[in-house]
Amino acid sequence: MKFDDCEHCSGKVRTKRVTVDLRRGTRLYIFRNVPVGVCSKCGERYYPGPLLEQLDEIAQHAVDGAKTIKVPAFDYAQVG
């Protein structure tokens, strides 16, 4: 993938594999090793549209290969 310079700080944006959290309604999907653009100066991430569509499609339909983990959830208004 090729990216333009960062629109926030003009740093170089390079492809890097990251973890992406995708929320759909009350569900949380975690994708590891996703290739996205990351600014080497400020860390801003750039997600190509087709990639986001693919992640959404996987979250909606694919369960094969998915690992389920438990994640604590807090309501800050009640515990803070």
Domain ranges of the chain: 13-79
- The whole-chain average pLDDT of the chain stands at 92
pLDDT at residue 54 above 90?
A: yes
Class of domain 13-79: alpha beta
Structure pTM?
Answer: 0.80
pLDDT at 25: 85
Under a CB-based contact definition with an 8 Å cutoff, are residues 31 and 19 in contact? Answer: yes
pLDDT digits (tens, 9 = 90+) for 13-52: 999 999 999 998 888 899 999 999 999 999 999 999 999 9
pLDDT at 67: 86
